[in-house]
Amino acid sequence: MIIGITGGIGSGKSTIAKQLRAMGYAVYDTDSEAKRLIVEDAHVRQQIEQLFGSEVYKDGVYQTALVAQRVFADHSLLAQLNAIVHPAVRADIMHWAQKINHATPCFVECAILYQAGFDSLCDKVVAVIAPEEIRLDRVMKRDSSTIERVRARMRAQEIENDIPRADILINNDGKTPISTLCKEIINQL
Q: Residue 34 domain-assigned?
A: no
Q: Residue 84 domain-assigned?
A: no
Q: Residue 76 domain-assigned?
A: no
CA distance 89 to 22: 24
- Residue 151 is predicted with a pLDDT of 82
Domain region containing 149: 2-26+100-188
Give rounded-to-5 percent helix, strand, coil for the chain. 60, 15, 25
CA distance 146 to 152: 10
CA distance 163 to 168: 9
What would the pLDDT profile of 23-54 be if each residue is shown by its tens digit?
999 999 999 999 999 999 999 999 999 999 99
Return contacts of 95-101, CB within 8 angstroms, 24+ apart.
96/26, 96/28, 97/2, 97/28, 97/121, 100/26, 101/26
Q: Residue 95 domain-assigned?
A: no
DSSP class of 9: T
Q: Residue 178 domain-assigned?
A: yes
Q: Residue 17 domain-assigned?
A: yes
Point out which residues pair with 57 in neighbouring strands: 62
Question: b/e map of 97-132 (b: 16 or more CB within 10 Å)?
Answer: beeeeeeebbbbbbbbbbbbebbebbebbbbbbbee
Q: What is the CATH number of the domain that holds 151?
A: 3.40.50.300
Work out the pLDDT band at 157, boundaries 50, 70, 90.
confident
Q: Residue 53 domain-assigned?
A: no
Q: What total of structural domains would you count in the chain?
A: 1
CA distance 176 to 134: 14
Work out the pLDDT band at 144, boundaries 50, 70, 90.
confident
Q: Residue 80 domain-assigned?
A: no
What would the pLDDT profile of 81-104 be if each residue is shown by its tens digit?
999 999 999 999 999 998 886 778
